[in-house]
Amino acid sequence: MRYDDPNVAMSAVVGIISAILLFVIIVVLQAYFYDAEQAELQKKVYSQPYQELQQLDAAQIELLTTYAWVSEGDGVVRIPIERAMELVAAEAR
């Protein structure tokens, strides 16, 4: 055997072991990601009662769809988002 000849058997073993190791690493990382995703989902969504989320949603919708004073002394008024978009579009023409 000459020293400059590649060892095919050893190269095949190293390639197979590397492929198996890569597969195991990918599976472990996927499992870690899934666990982290479930933990975040649990923390952010399921920890708050459903009524609190509905109240928050309703409050945000009210802010986007109603008129109200932001600062009456300064003359600043909040307007519905649809009306604001109409005014911006009309101003751009």
Two tokens, residue 70? 């932001």
The pLDDT tens digits for 1-57 are 567 778 889 999 999 999 999 999 999 999 999 999 999 888 877 766 777 778 889
pLDDT reported for residue 1: 53
SS3 50: helix
Res. 66: pLDDT tops 90: yes
Alpha carbons 16 and 76: distance in angstroms, whole number: 69
Alpha carbons 72 and 79: distance in angstroms, whole number: 13
pLDDT reported for residue 2: 61
Predicted TM-score (pTM) of the model is: 0.45
pLDDT reported for residue 77: 93
